[in-house]
Chain A
Amino acid sequence: MPRVIQRVLPQLLTLAALMALVSVFFPDFLEITYSDGRLVGPVIDILKRGAPVALLAIGMTLVIATRGIDLSVGATMAICGACSAWAISAGYGLAGALGFAMLAGLAAGLWNGALVAVFGIQPIVATLILMTAGRGVAQLITEGRILTFNHEGLAFFGSGDILGVPMPTLIWVLLGVLVALLVRRTALGLLIEAIGINRRASTLAGINSRVLLIAVYMASGFCAAWAGIVATADIRGADANNSGLWLELDAILAVVIGGNSLLGGRFSIAASLLGAMIIQTIDTGILLAGFPSEFNLVIKAALVLVILVLQSPNLAPRFARIARRRRGTPAAGKLTTREAGE
């Protein structure tokens, strides 16, 4: 466990600093109350509103670890949301709604994965196709309207809560923990990192990198499906135009803030999830602190720039040297691989 903490420490510190900063401007920020059987407060709100980006970030982390990128998750989210709303309206019930959404997400991932792993198309190019066409497909399903529904069961996934905790929060935490356990308790994490760092050598070592790549894109589609379900359930309707619009960029940003290298390899899902929460804290914090929301984008841009500088292959070795000098002991070599990604 300490290793995990060490890995996410920069993100934790950033988040803490942000929360402290917002508290200065909005003293009630950290206040959480319990009313009407549910937890209420700005922090809870962040944990809930950040759900779609957090969910997307889980899959995106895996894709980026393989040296790929998935631009289509926003559109996939819209498709899956539309599927679930359509299934509910068509009388397939809750199970049908969730099932269709998840199937659509997996199918989208299969499409992307096949283009990348079988046809050998660059990930950014391959996923651009679904990014462009996907929203059209979603609109095809909703027939251009906001497909509203009245089904408490499905709506529960967006606005319900268990033991006071909002469902969206539970979903992203649960899926995050599940995926993290899946990749770390099995060998998947190691194999994904291996193909991200050196696909050729990994294939020679007997790893089935083609199937693994497809699986990773399918995982990304699956996460997008849940993001779509949450977003649709929240507004009790599928908005093919706006559901997940530009969220792929926030998801990538969350992964990058999580210290995962865009060049593939080492990854941490926990750090990406913290990244998603950092983004949401900025969003919400700016509103609460009474700043105009236009600062939001500029802050995001600044964040990306800082991370770019830290990750740059031209500059990173220099930082590493400085850090090592400061630590002063060569024994610190043990940590370098873990820290390289940050």
Chain B
Amino acid sequence: MTSRTLPLFATIAIFLIAYLVCYLQFPAMLSTRVIGNLLTDNAYLGIVAVGMTVVILSGGIDLSVGSVIAFSGVFIAVMLRDTGLHPLVVFALLLAVTTAFGAFMGGLIHVLAMPPFIVTLAGMFLARGAGYMLSVESVPIQHPFYEVLKDAYYLMPGKGRLTLLGVAMLLSVAGGMILAHRTRFGTRVFAMGGGAQTAQLMGVPVGLTTVQIYAFSGFMAGLSGVAFSIYTASGYPLAMVGTELNAIAAVVIGGTILTGGAGYVFGTLIGVLTMGLIQTYIVFDGSLSSWWTKIVIGALLLMFILLQKGLLRLGTARAAA
């Protein structure tokens, strides 16, 4: 086990142990029903977290994603309400918009040489404002195609439903894994996270790559918006406040180092499922209060950040010796 994979194994181990604890207390939690719900309920988060993973791997951060998801929901709902376009066409339009939006932020980050944190903060305001301007209220989606999407599932043995959303998340993770770990683009992302200056010396087109990274995050946020609109069958501009934080938390709990350069997209999936598991446990327990979710997630965050800081220190100490 290398210091690179240690956080990933830690993540997986924590998830398995947590699941074991849950199972021992509530045997019902091992049913395909619970697993199916775990995937469906966290689909939107898993999808957007894949984009966030790539951004964080490159050493950046994207605070705009929650707002972009909310915007997406409203955009879809309003388009379906006001135009006769087929949902698939609306999805395509939306993804084009959110991808362009991400690319624009990436461009600003590079051209202005300002911290991604503050640039995407502006993006966060902008996207939510734009959603607000489309509609102030929640807009329900009533389209026959949506019923089809919502009811598309595979009945697993044990009556668990593997829904379209759950599958979409798993596919997103698989796609993200290929992109991050199996393409030249992915290597460039890791290179930027390892050190933008060195990456540039090794021939990474830093500007272009930055644009691509945030464009990808914008695309995934749009996709997550689609998933969320299917999940809730509505669009609401005030939805998903704080999702960016949950996505960042999932990425870090998934073993990716927040300063970039090391991590696994698969870990992010485990991070998302761990967070979902905590919530499921609290629901099963019934007496525990929901705020424990936040505290446990905060504790996990602290643990992983300290673990990685420790590994980093160990690494530099070894290199110096």
Contacts and interface: CB of A to CB of B under 8 A. Distances in A.
Chains A, B in direct contact (C-beta < 8 Å): yes
Interface of A: 69, 119-122, 124-126, 128-140, 143-144, 240, 245-246, 249, 252-253, 256, 262, 292-301, 304-305, 308-309, 311-315
A298 B125 contact: yes
Interface in B117-137: 117-119, 121-126, 128-130, 132-133, 136
Given A133-B301, A308-B108, A312-B112, 7 more contacts: A132-B245, A133-B299, A135-B294, A144-B291, A298-B133, A305-B108, A309-B112
Nearest to B130: A298
A55 to B, nearest CB: 20
B118 A308 contact: yes
Contact of B248 (A128, A133, A297, A309): A128
Question: In this complex, which of A132, A137, A311 has the most chain B Cβ atoms within 10 angstroms of its Cβ?
Answer: A132
Nearest to B122: A304
Contact of A298 (B129, B241, B290): B129
21 contacts: A119-B309, A122-B258, A124-B117, A132-B245, A132-B297, A133-B294, A135-B294, A138-B291, A139-B289, A143-B289, A240-B291, A246-B241, A252-B121, A294-B132, A295-B133, A297-B132, A298-B129, A300-B122, A304-B125, A308-B114, A312-B113
A131 B244 CA distance: 12
A312 B123 CA distance: 17
A249 B125 CA distance: 10
B115 interface: yes
A187 B56 CA distance: 38
A137 B114 contact: no
Prevailing SS type, chain A contact patch: helix
Does more than half of chain B's interface fall in helix, strand or loop, or is it mixed? helix
A17 B46 CA distance: 45
Contact of B129 (A132, A297, A309, A313): A297
B78 to A, nearest CB: 13
A298 B294 contact: no
Given A297-B132, A298-B133, A308-B119, A132 B111 contact: no
B125 A297 contact: yes
Q: Which of B61, B114, B306, B309 has the most CB of A within 10 A?
A: B114
Given A129-B302, A132-B297, A301 B125 contact: yes
B114 A295 contact: no
A212 to B, nearest CB: 21
A132 B301 contact: yes
Interface of B: 61, 108, 111-115, 117-119, 121-126, 128-130, 132-133, 136, 237, 241, 245, 248-249, 258-259, 289-295, 297-299, 301-302, 305-306, 309
A129 B298 CA distance: 5
Contacts of A292: 132-133, 136
B114 to A, nearest CB: 5
Contact of A304 (B121, B130, B289): B121
Residue with the highest number of chain B CB atoms closer than 10 Å, among A119, A124, A252, A294: A294
B111 A314 contact: yes
Contacts of A298: 125-126, 129-130, 133
Nearest to A125: B258
A139 B295 CA distance: 10
Given A133-B301, A308-B119, A300 B291 contact: no
B305 A300 contact: no
Contacts of A245: 241
Contacts of B241: 245-246
List 5 A-B pairs, minimum CB-CB distance, nearest first.
Answer: A133-B298, A136-B294, A297-B129, A294-B132, A139-B291
Nearest to B132: A294
A311 B113 CA distance: 10
A140 B108 contact: no
Contacts of B259: 122, 125
B165 to A, nearest CB: 25
B40 to A, nearest CB: 24
Given A262-B115, A314-B111, A314-B112, A132 B122 contact: no
A128 B301 contact: yes
Contact of A136 (B112, B114, B125, B291): B291
A140 B128 contact: no
A129 B126 contact: no
Nearest to B126: A301
A297 B126 CA distance: 6
Contacts of B111: 312, 314
A127 B79 CA distance: 39
Contacts of A253: 121
Given A246-B241, A297-B129, A301-B126, A134 B298 contact: yes
Contacts of A119: 306, 309
A295 B241 CA distance: 18
A160 B258 CA distance: 45
Nearest to B115: A262
A311 B114 contact: yes
Contact of A130 (B114, B119, B298, B306): B298
A300 B128 CA distance: 11
Nearest to A134: B298
A296 B238 CA distance: 14
Contacts of B297: 132-133, 136
B291 A135 contact: yes
Contacts of B248: 128
A293 B259 CA distance: 36
A297 B133 CA distance: 10
A340 B246 CA distance: 37
Most chain A CB within 10 A, of B119, B124, B125, is at B125
B113 to A, nearest CB: 5
Contacts of B237: 294
B84 to A, nearest CB: 26
Contacts of B132: 292-294, 297
A136 B291 CA distance: 5
Contacts of A138: 291
